[in-house]
Amino acid sequence: MTDDRIIATYRVTSEPSRIADRAQGLAIEQSVECPLDAIGDPWVRDAIVGRVALIDQIGAGRYAVRVALAAATAPAEPGQLLNMLFGNASIQPDVALVDVELPPAYLAAFGGPKLGLDGIRARTGVHRRALTASALKPQGLAPAALAAIARQLAEGGVDLIKDDHGLADQAYSPFAARIAAVGRAVDAANQASGRRALYAPHVSGSLDEMRRQLDLIRAETIPALMMMPMIVGLSNFHVIAREAEGLVVLAHPALSGATRIAPPLLLGKLFRLLGADATVFPHAGGRFAYTPETCRALADAARGDWGGLKPCLPVPAGGIAIDRVEELLSFYGRDVMLLIGGSLLAARENLGAEAARFVAEVAAHGA
């Protein structure tokens, strides 16, 4: 790979007799998006038009197509990069984006996780075992009720407590009031336990609103936050990830399924590249349909060696119950944070004990 080309790998469904034309069409769609004979400028033809690098049959009527896109079309601006990788092709039903190989300049420009997996271990004080997480549910509860849940989870030993992803700034739980109540409850539990559970509020809205929320988070000395990159736009996710210096940045996959970008690429590689210290995703076998292969590839993309970027902590979630802890830890190893939400909360008034059971199970198997 040269420094002036990005290699995008697409999975294309096609008949054998058409794949060569289809691949060429894709290379044009994701670069100049016009007929080649409309291009008089030889430099544009040589340097800007996308080039098919490889077509590989991977199954009946299924092909992996590697396209070399000109880095010049995609300066290190996250939204524009995504646009040039898949903006128009996302509208075509026969193609999915499965991988991207970026020249080193992008990694330097975007920076990757500022804290990453090791930073989260340092902040939580959990160095040897796998980590645990849960969520404040259901939305509709007032701040005081959410704070009570948070306190029980923290007292039970859970390492990270996130807002339910539906919690934003609703009337029943306004952002400022919620983070104050929950933040203080978690602090109180930490002081009593000597542990360092982290609370991650959901930061959402326009970039202006996200900045206001970040200010409130800092004012409450809350050590983490969660965002939904596909909802807020990758550019703004990256801006806030940078401005949240010192805070753990958790990425949530809401809306990630709407456009056929392979989860290991989107939730593993790209969210990591743009600053996610941890990335939430649905583990196989729950309410979502990721395969074990997808989950493994996602964890590898998040954690693996990549141009010096810090590893991003995988956070498998989505319908996990305590009886699957051993299985998941065996699958992911110890550099993982398991997120159990609803099934812990189903314990209702026994939440604290159930949280402790979760934590003990992870400690028993994940160290």
Q: What is the nearest approach in angstroms of its own copies to the Cβ of residue 168?
A: 5
Q: What is the nearest approach in angstroms of its own copies to the Cβ of residue 46?
A: 10
Q: Which parts of the chain fold into alpha helices (H)?
A: 19-29, 42-43, 78-86, 104-110, 116-124, 143-156, 175-193, 207-219, 229-232, 234-243, 263, 271-273, 292-303, 325-332, 342-345, 351-365
Size of site (CB under 8 A) for its own copies: 85
Binding mask 315-334 for its own copies (x = CB under 8 A): --------------------
How many angstroms separate the CA atoms of 343 and 341, rounded? 6
Q: Is 118 in the site for its own copies (CB under 8 A)?
A: no
Query: Is residue 244 helix, strand or coil?
Result: coil
Residue nearer to its own copies on the CB measure, 120 or 158:
158
Query: Is residue 323 helix, strand or coil?
Result: helix
Q: Which amino acid is at 170?
A: Q
Site for its own copies in 89-108 (CB under 8 A): 90-94
Q: What is the nearest approach in angstroms of its own copies to the Cβ of residue 271?
A: 14
- The full 3-state SS of 98-151, as one line of letters, equals EEEECCHHHHHHHCCCCCHHHHHHHHHCCCCCCEEEEEECCECECHHHHHHHHH
Q: Find the part of the chain contacting its own copies (CB under 8 A) among 5-13, 123-131, 291-299, 339-347.
A: 339-347
121's tokens: 């271990």
Total Cβ atoms within 10 A of residue 4: 13
Q: Is 354 in the site for its own copies (CB under 8 A)?
A: no
Site for its own copies in 279-308 (CB under 8 A): 282, 287-289
How many angstroms separate the CA atoms of 272 and 266, rounded? 9
Residue among 1, 54, 219, 255 that touches its own copies (CB under 8 A): 255
Q: Is 177 in the site for its own copies (CB under 8 A)?
A: no
Residue nearer to its own copies on the CB measure, 86 or 199:
86
Q: What is the nearest approach in angstroms of its own copies to the Cβ of residue 157?
A: 20
Q: Is 212 in the site for its own copies (CB under 8 A)?
A: no
Binding mask 23-42 for its own copies (x = CB under 8 A): --x---x-xxxxx-xxxxx-
Site for its own copies in 51-70 (CB under 8 A): 70
